[in-house]
Amino acid sequence: MKKTIKLISIAMLSAAVAVSASLSVSAAGINNAEQRILDELRTTVDMEGNMKTLPVQYINQAENYMNTIEISDADADTIISKIEDTKVFLTNTQAVKYDALTNAQVDEFIVRCNDIVGVINLKLLYDKSTRTVTVVDIDGNVVFTASNVGYNGNPYNDNPRQHSSQPGDDTSKPGGDTSKISPIDDNPIKNTGLDFNIPGVMSVAGTGVFLVSAAGVCLIKRRKSAVSEDV
Amino acid sequence: MILPIVFCILIYLICAAVILPSTSSYLSMANIFFSDREKSFTKEHRNIFVPVEDTSETPENPDKPDIVKASSFVFPSYEDQFGELIIEDCQIKADLYFGDSWYVLGNGVGIYNGSAIPGYGRTILIAGHNNTYFNGLKHAKEGQIVKIRTNYGNYQYEITGTKITDNEDRSAYDLGKNEENLIMYTCYPFDTLGLTNLRAFIYAKYVSGPVIDKNS
């Protein structure tokens, strides 16, 4: 299930990035086509009355990327259409949240997202050890990154006013168990307390251990020779 | 003769696997010595920072800032070095990058790519290590001026306050704010040895610098 959740998270993030990407022509701010996409990204998805929105930091990343490219009206129409289709699909799953999608629904959802990503030649990388999603363009340049993703698999905010923990929730629906609702995932605040050269420190530590060990061996040999001389 | 070698390797492995995580404080202390190493550009990064004429200290009309067209300059991509950040009162002068990856934070300070660049009229969230580039934030006080020089213009911000809070405190910043504001943060305490959940947030308001026209 955790794997499934991670896949959902990755797919949603890739969709968010995908809609903001196109072949790079020139940097020219935000044109009308790009603005329409951003507006679409800010809309909600209705999942059994639970309104989901993308975290603002993801939309900002999309906007920043759009400032480096030029998206045509035709591309924007395609992208928006695909988003709408995916939103309809999600609504029709009758799940109250992304975590509650069945494996088959997840598979289809990923196919849909991959369809969007594939159109614009982006590649999504997921580092399980750091739970970091990175999307790169065909040249390997980072387009989007999100850390601590995959813990709960839900890249979307829960609208507090229509959260499934509100009274009247239908817990018989898939995902209706409110005890399983997870917190928002990605934290924009990074670890800024460590900056050391790990290989360097390890080398020094290894050398230190080696010297201590060598000294120990010498000491033991000396004692042995001293004992043998006494004998 | 093999025994000492085995013993040596064994001890080393124990250090690496068991003791290392619990001795991060000492490693941080070691960092005091290692952090002054030459900048390690182990991978390529793009430097698009070409200083522009500094008129930020004497703007012609502070109430009516200059406009810079988004199409007239190279918008920074992830991990691009596109400026520098200076707080003279805090003895801070660091290269400014777009993005806040470990690579970036090892070489300067970085704007979170889910926030905005200077002049965009939104929240600018900048991270830096507390034991290197942002250690000087411990001297930050209200009224001090933060200078940011970029490849498209020079900016000034005035520090308005500080806040020490948990790194999970979402109320410490608002990335959806439609008003130019600068937030710098680093780990707290400033001279701490090791990881900490606390962050020092330094808030600053916009003073001067060109406004980016996003639609041109």
Q: Residue A59: which of A89, A30, A81 has the closest Cα?
A: A30
Q: Do A29 and B127 touch (CB under 8 A)?
A: no
Q: Do A204 and B30 touch (CB under 8 A)?
A: yes
Of the two residues B32 and A92, the one the predictor is more confident about is: A92
Q: What is the pLDDT of residue B14?
A: 75
**Residue B118 contacts A where some CB pair is shorter than 8 Å:** no
pLDDT of B112-146, one tens digit each? 999 999 999 999 999 999 999 999 999 999 999 99
**Residue B80 contacts A where some CB pair is shorter than 8 Å:** no
Given B34, B105, B127, which is nearest A196 (Cβ)? B34
CA torsion, points B120, B123, B124, B125, in degrees to nearest 10?
-160
CA–CA gap between residue A205 and residue A211 (Å, rounded): 10
Contact B77, A67 (CB under 8 A): no
pLDDT at B63 over 80: no
Q: Mark the ranges of chain A whose per-residue pLDDT is less than 50.
A: 19-26, 150-185
Give the CA radius of gyration of chain A.
26
Region at B65 (left for phi over 0; alpha for psi -120 to 50; beta for the rest): beta
Contact B79, B73 (CB under 8 A): no
Q: Do B27 and A200 touch (CB under 8 A)?
A: no
Q: Do B75 and A188 touch (CB under 8 A)?
A: no
Structure tokens at A106: 């997840």
Structure tokens at B208: 């001067």
Residues 85-124 of A with CB under 8 A from B: none
Residue of A nearest to B114 (CA): A57
Which residues from B are below 8 Å from A188, CB to CB? 112, 114-115, 125, 173, 175
Query: Could you give the C-alpha distances from B65 to A144, A157, B79, B132, B216, in angstroms and in order?
Result: 31, 36, 28, 33, 17
CA–CA gap between residue A76 and residue B161 (Å, rounded): 42
CA–CA gap between residue A142 and residue A119 (Å, rounded): 17
Contacts of B186 (CB under 8 A, 6+ apart): A192, A193, B127, B128, B129, B130, B134, B135, B137, B199, B200
Region at A199 (left for phi over 0; alpha for psi -120 to 50; beta for the rest): alpha
Number of residues assigned to chain B? 216
C-alpha B152: how far from chain center:
19
Q: For residue B70, give how far its alpha carbon lies from the nearest alpha carbon of chain A (Å).
A: 5
CA–CA gap between residue B177 and residue A156 (Å, rounded): 19
CA–CA gap between residue B110 and residue B131 (Å, rounded): 15
Q: What is the pLDDT of residue A178?
A: 29
pLDDT of A52-103, one tens digit each? 887 899 889 989 988 988 888 888 888 888 888 888 998 999 888 766 778 7
User: A with B: how many residue pairs have Cβ under 8 Å apart?
Assistant: 151
Structure tokens at A90: 């999600």
Q: What is the pLDDT of residue A25?
A: 41
Q: Do B11 and A61 touch (CB under 8 A)?
A: no
> Mean pLDDT score of chain B, rounded to an integer?
86
- Among B112, B177, B190, the strongest candidate for a mutation testing the A interface, having the largest count of A CBs within 10 A, is B112
Q: What is the pLDDT of residue A221?
A: 84
pTM: 0.71
